[in-house]
A and B are shown apart, each in its own frame.
Chain A
Amino acid sequence: MTKTQVPAVEGLFTMGDDGEDPRLIGGKGGARDSYFFPKNMGGNDPALFGETERAEVLLSNTGTIWSFTTSSYPPPKPYVITTEPFVPIVIAAVELDNEKLVVLGQMAPGIVVEDLHVGMRVKMIIDVLYEDDDHQYMVWKWEPETSGSETQKPEASAVQEGN
């Protein structure tokens, strides 16, 4: 029997249609275009002081790697360790294409740090974070964007400016 796939935490991302076009669920200010992730947890723009509600928006699911690293030792709870022995987690901070916002996430399984460079193009996928007898608990991860645009070395200035 196939397990039901559910988000590990509700309200942070959409799973996409059969895994296609998954998105992070963000917030957006009304008076000016500041974006937030998670929608209601990102610190406020003081210019939006008077706005009590944020519009819900789906954020870009592509971007460039701002920096990356590993968690080479098992993180403590509430992280759920799924492999024995522990396999180092590869983590990237990714600047989303349209929102000028950097979001952390794990890289897709099988990616090692040697595969990565700052400025590399990535896209968001949905993958298993952990599972139990009935469910697979899902999370967003980043995967090198290979179809369409090849991975490219960034120009240093472009990385610095971040736009």
Chain B
Amino acid sequence: MEDIAILGAGMHPWGKWGRNFVEYGAKAARDALADADVPWEDIGLVSGANTVRNGYPGWVSGSTFANALGFQGAQLSSSYAACASGATALSIARAQIHAGVCDVALVVGADTTPKGFFAPVGDDARPDDPDWLRFHMVGVTNPVYFALYARRRMELYGDTPHDFATVKAKNSRHGVHNPNARYPKEFGVEDVENSPVVADPLRLLEICATSDGGAALVVSSMEYAKSRGISDPVRVSGISTVGPTYPNAIVDMPYLASDSWNAVGDAEHTFKRDIAQVAYDEAGVGPDDLDLAEVYDLSSAYELDWYEYLGLCAEGEATKILHAGDTSIGGRIPVNASGGLGAFGEAIPAQAIAQVCELTWQLRGQAGGRQVADAKVGLSINYGMFGHGSSVIVRR
């Protein structure tokens, strides 16, 4: 598939600002347009990533953000895929550019989040909704899933809580250099180990917070980029929005049960192993070609799973490359140079877009104190609960 160009990236800093999400998205969008040096009037499509916690404007985010910037006749799209929403919004922009519907598009997502654990939206009893059922019947919060996976690593590979804390410490060293991070603060392993247990063996400093924030990208056809005098833009070379293949044997959010691998499949199958492969195939690259990766560290331990799902190391070897410094800035394949979710917390519809903003700045050499030297190929990965895969490969 032909690449599209990333002309501009912009973010509203992550935090707990408590203001209207539209403000964050509009700020990110204005910054991305200024970064791209593209006039707002030129945008032919606004592809919004939705938020489900901010009423109707959040469900029609393409329209909401376009209206905030001033309706100028662009086509609109609003998509929701939980934490993968941003990648879905980007994939729609790419499809519309390739279809010739528009030359240049704005992709934008933003969120304002409540304090504490995410909980089902709405107060009505919904026993047919797995997300309602898991809270009501068992008290399963999101960190419970992260901890179940962490415990599996301890059992299967001999990982330790100290290994998990090391991931957090590593990402915090990266995040110190990120002006958009919510927690630009260095935490040591001891700080992690002194924080309270949230879901054994994971502690408070290892669990992704819920944040406010916004992120935006201006993307275009390669011809449009050329017409603006940009001959060597950062390009999107692969996008994965793949869903699971039955049976997903590793129980996923928000379900109370895995799929059964009785008739077909095996006990270790999870679609998280398939997400990156789709993007690799599209971009014609593999894990050895990557210069950096932004991965979905919902917990410290979860980052280690992604090393293996991405093929950065063999199954069970994640702690080896962690402790060897491979995944630190300066190492073989820096992971979460931005600081990751550990330094940001998550603003759901903005997160996958923010990952691509970081890769864009890295590939342009604009990442300041967290710059990965000579970065040419970067990958982002996350996934939205209920089964939305999300991975983007960019290169220059």
CB 8 Å contact bits of A10-21 with B (1 = contact, 0 = none)? 101000000000
Chain A residues in 8 Å Cβ range of B150: 69
What are some 16 contacts across the A-B interface (CB < 8 A)? Answer: A33-B263, A35-B260, A38-B133, A42-B255, A67-B151, A69-B150, A69-B202, A71-B141, A72-B198, A72-B200, A75-B135, A76-B117, A100-B267, A104-B256, A106-B138, A160-B267
Which residues of chain A from 69 to 118 have a CB within 8 Å of any chain B CB? 69-73, 75-80, 89, 91, 93, 95, 99-106, 113, 118
Q: Tell me whether A136 is interfacial, beta carbon within 8 Å.
A: no
Q: Which residue of B135, B199, B246, B258 is within 8 Å of A45 (Cβ)?
A: B246
B137 touches A129 (CB 8 A): yes
A99 touches B262 (CB 8 A): yes
Interface size on A, residues (CB 8 A): 56
Q: How far does the alpha carbon of A103 sit from the alpha carbon of B258 in the complex, in Å?
A: 7
Q: How far does the alpha carbon of A161 sit from the alpha carbon of B148 in the complex, in Å?
A: 17
The 9 closest A-B pairs by CB, nearest first: A162-B267, A69-B147, A76-B119, A75-B139, A35-B260, A100-B262, A78-B136, A102-B258, A67-B148
B155 touches A67 (CB 8 A): yes
Given contacts A42-B257, A45-B264, contact A93 B117 (CB under 8 A): no
Q: How far does the alpha carbon of A103 sit from the alpha carbon of B155 in the complex, in Å?
A: 18
Q: How far does the alpha carbon of A119 sit from the alpha carbon of B140 in the complex, in Å?
A: 21
Given contacts A32-B264, A75-B117, A162-B267, contact A105 B138 (CB under 8 A): yes
Report the nearest B residue to A77, measured CB to CB.
B119
Chain A residues in 8 Å Cβ range of B134: 104
Q: Tell me whether A1 is interfacial, beta carbon within 8 Å.
A: no
A100 touches B260 (CB 8 A): yes
Q: How far does the alpha carbon of A58 sit from the alpha carbon of B74 in the complex, in Å?
A: 55
Chain A residues in 8 Å Cβ range of B133: 9, 38, 41
Q: How far does the alpha carbon of A72 sit from the alpha carbon of B146 in the complex, in Å?
A: 13
Q: Tell me whether B68 is interfacial, beta carbon within 8 Å.
A: no
Q: Report the minimal beta-carbon distance from B258 to chain A, rounded to whole angstroms.
A: 4
A78 touches B125 (CB 8 A): yes
Q: Which residue of B130, B140, B149 is within 8 Å of A41 (Cβ)?
A: B130
CB 8 Å contact bits of B210-250 with A (1 = contact, 0 = none)? 00000000000000000000000000000000001011110
Q: Tell me whether A151 is interfacial, beta carbon within 8 Å.
A: no
Q: Tell me whether B285 is interfacial, beta carbon within 8 Å.
A: no
A35 touches B262 (CB 8 A): yes
Q: Report the minimal beta-carbon distance from A94 to chain B, rounded to whole angstroms.
A: 10
Q: Which residue of A42, A67, A95, A160 is within 8 Å of B259 (Cβ)?
A: A42
Chain A residues in 8 Å Cβ range of B125: 78
Q: Tell me whether B144 is interfacial, beta carbon within 8 Å.
A: yes
Chain A residues in 8 Å Cβ range of B266: 162
Chain B residues in 8 Å Cβ range of A93: 148, 251
Report the nearest B residue to A70, measured CB to CB.
B200
A69 touches B151 (CB 8 A): yes
Which residues of chain B from 127 to 163 have a CB within 8 Å of any chain A CB? 127-128, 130, 132-141, 143-144, 147-152, 155-156
A101 touches B258 (CB 8 A): yes
Chain A residues in 8 Å Cβ range of B256: 37-38, 103-105
B140 touches A71 (CB 8 A): yes
A89 touches B200 (CB 8 A): no
Q: How far does the alpha carbon of A1 sit from the alpha carbon of B366 in the complex, in Å?
A: 72
B197 touches A72 (CB 8 A): yes
